[in-house]
Structure 1
Amino acid sequence: MKTHYRVLRVAAYCRVSTKQEEQLNSYENQVEHYTERINSENGWTLEGIYADKGISGTSVKNRDEFNRMIRRCKQGKIDMIITKSIARFARNTVDCLKYVRLLNDLGVDVYFEEQGIHSNQPGAEFYITIYGSIAQSESENISANIKWGKAQAAREGKVVFRYKNFLGYRKGEDGQPEIVPEEAETIRFIYDRFLAGDSLKGIAELLEEKGIKSPTGKAEW
């Protein structure tokens, strides 16, 4: 008599919350980690890696890969989801519980590596609620601290310049903004035409006719 073992179709979800280079490196590492992790486990087969880059975890609205993964679960294509932590899965407690319950109803287990919790275990929802609340609180505190820091810097006259896409200025040797003469002429031209009554579209067309590139280096404004 043959014994039949069920092979779990396992998906991984990973996310990094910013577009900074070190965070994107973390994203690549997560994809590599889960590919190796799932392929090396007996009784598991890799269903897919779902990864959102540069997306906040406070809402699932704009997380395309997360939503695609949920659709696959509803189609019966996934048996288990593995993710780094509750904070990676969601930093909104309501969303976290909503989707954990939805997935449990679909028979899909969510395994949170960092906490060592399987969502289909007895009492798991209690721990998920606690950890989810902590993650949400941390996210809100970070956001508040960033806003306070920017406001404080503005009061002190310290402004962060995105020089790469900033027309008219570059970073000087002393670290302070320095006027770029040729770009300053472009800025004067834009203001002159605006004060003369030209529309934004009309000004853009004039700049393109003159062959003046946009702040991002594109021929089209």
Structure 2
Amino acid sequence: MKIAAYCRVSTAKEEQLDSLANQKEFFEAYARTNGYELVRVYADEGISGTQMRKREQFQALLRDAARHHFDLVVVKDISRFARNTVDFLQSVRALKELGVNTRFLTANMDSLGESEFVLTLFGALAQEESANLSRRVKFGKRLNAQKGRVPRLLYGYHRVDNFQLTICPEEAQVVRKIFALYVDQGLGCRTIAQQLNGLGYVTKQGCPWTPSAVHRILTNPTYCGHLVNHKYEVENYLTGKRKKLPPQEQFHHPRPQWAIVTPEQFAQAQQQRQQRAQVREPDKPPGRYSARHLFSGLIVCAECGRSFCRKTYTYANTRVYWKCWGNDQGLCANRTKIEEEQLVAAIRDHVSECITNLEGWKQRVVNEVLDHISEAPREESELERLTQRKKRYERLYANGIIPLEQLQQELVEIQTREDALQVKRAGEHRNEAEILAQLEGYMRWEGLERADVAKLVEKITADERGEVQIFFEGGWYDFSS
């Protein structure tokens, strides 16, 4: 008789895979002892028995049974076959319809010889065993979450043990770069991922960066020294469906010594993330944030609430204009087009009019930049002193000399001072003429990026009558296209 064997282990851990190898040896010995021809051993590795659709080898067994490759399927135990009573009975019935018997060796049962009542009873026991296991696992995870268990892999850190992390300096620099590109330059997750890949950076697992990987960095409070556990819980052990738990059921653990960015930087990232999600009006579905062009995401249709998209047309000359994305797709009646060159000129002229003494204002800006450059050496030495001070307090806390509250207070104070100094640090030494030339270039909108425009312009609206309003941070300005 030709037989097939099925075995399964629920995790891919080494000891479980050893168990899988033992199960295979058991079936080979069983076939030799009973004079059967063992056609194949179907083995699922690291797969739960509660969901049949995820078990590729089991699905292959059913397909081969339909082709009549064997007459008998042997399984060591019912729990290895399925821990879901419904799936268990459906699989047994499917094999019976194909004329294939299923034999469970530890229970000494054959599917063709036993009533469905007995099979259902044993299947229900296997499912209840799975339910009890799920409850024990859930309890253990909750207990570890209360103690502050850390993830197995977390970019920017080395895992010391189940509850301790240390900062990885090289990866920490990338994390700071991600926050700087997002908060300071206004780039989106997709663009940031492209830049990181272009620079040759890879994730913790050696994979290319993706927008979702960047998003996880930006939304993980661990990077500002605050570990949050127990955020999700398995709602149904049979389907594996998870649900997000409310904040009051999550576990919060202050870990200031793990901070890579400041709490203020993290809060700014969350604020920007919420603002970018509100590309359309509150009662409209959100659009995708973009920072590709000067006015990406800033021009909003007053009729449908969708963003304007940038268009170029070249005949004798190149024309760059903005129009409602909804109208472009046939979803909105707003046919207003805004010429980009005219829009830039209107904003530039309005800003110039707001400066009453232009020459005096430019001189003040130049003087402030020069003062900033002259302070650079002193700032470098103070930054070094703050770094040594931070290390000293961390050693005091590690040796149990000061409590956690005092460490947190001191680190926050040091970090605040470091942030202020970093903002003031100078790059290259430049003379007054160079600074003035760069300032005048900015005033002509030369070299400005979308993030620079967003600091000045809150939003721009345009209706179907062609009325365009520019909302600045301190008020609004009417501009007719």
* TM-score band w.r.t. shorter chain: 0.7 to 0.9
**Hey, what does 2:4 align to over in structure 1?**
11
1:174: Cα distance to partner? 10
Asked if the contact 2:150–2:164 (Cα under 8 Å) also holds between the matched residues in 1, the reply is no
Shift of 1:177: 1.2
- The counterpart of 1:161, out of the listed 151, 164, 179, is 151
- Shift, 1:118, TM fit: 1.2
Q: Quick one: distance in 2 between partners of 1:72 and 1:175?
A: 47
Amino acid paired to 2:17: L
* Unpaired segments ≥5 residues, structure 1: 1-7
> How much has 1:198 moved relative to structure 2?
1.8
Query: Aligned residue for 1:4?
Result: none
Secondary structure of the equivalent of 1:57? coil
Aligned-pair CA distance for 1:173: 7.8
Tell me the number of residue pairs that the alignment of Structure 1 and Structure 2 aligns: 208
Runs (4+) off by over 3 Å: 172-175
Distance 2:205 2:181 in 1: 21
Mark the CA change 1:10 to 1:127 in structure 2 (over 3 Å): closer, same or farther: same
What aligned pairs does 1:96-135 form with structure 2 within 5 A after superposition?
96-123=88-115, 125-135=116-126
Normalising by structure 2, report the TM-score: 0.41
Matched AA of 1:159:
R
Does structure 1 conserve the Cα–Cα contact (< 8 Å) formed by 2:77 and 2:106? yes
Which moved further from structure 2: 23-32 or 78-87? 23-32
Tell me the TM-score normalised to structure 1 length: 0.86
Distance, in Å, in 2 between the alignment partners of 1:65 and 1:193 is 46
- 1:141-176 per-residue CA deviation (whole Å, 9 max, x = no partner) reads 22122223323432x2422320xx321111348962
| Letter of the 2:180 counterpart | D
8 Å Cα contact 1:38/1:45 also seen in 2: yes
C-alpha distance in 1 between matches for 2:137 and 2:39: 38
| 2:244 counterpart residue number | none
Are the aligned partners of 1:81 and 1:111 in contact in 2 as well (CA < 8 Å)? yes
Q: Which residue of 1 aligns with 2:14?
A: 21
1:173/1:28 CA distance change after superposition, 3 Å: closer
Match of residue 5 from structure 1: none
Q: Within 5 Å, which residues of 2 pair with 1:1-221?
A: 8-42=1-35, 44-123=36-115, 125-154=116-145, 156-162=146-152, 165-172=153-160, 176-195=164-183, 196-218=185-207, 220-221=208-209
Return the offset for 1:79.
Answer: 0.4
The answer for unaligned runs of 5 or more in structure 2 is 210-481
Residues in 2 aligned to 1:139 and 1:197: alpha-carbon distance in whole angstroms: 48
Bigger Rg, structure 1 or 2: 2
Q: Check conservation: 1:86, 1:128, Cα contact below 8 A.
A: no
Q: 1:40 to 1:160 in 2, by over 3 A?
A: farther
What secondary structure does 2:174 align onto?
helix
Gap change, CA 1:173 and 1:127, over 3 Å in 2: closer
The question of whether the paired residues in 1 share the 8 Å contact of 2:5 and 2:42 is answered with yes
For 1:159 and 1:52, the matched residues in 2 are separated by 29
Query: Equivalent pairs: percent with the same residue?
Result: 39
Q: Which deviates more from structure 2 when the two are superposed, residues 32-41 or residues 11-20? A: 32-41
CA distance in 2, matches of 1:146, 1:213: 33
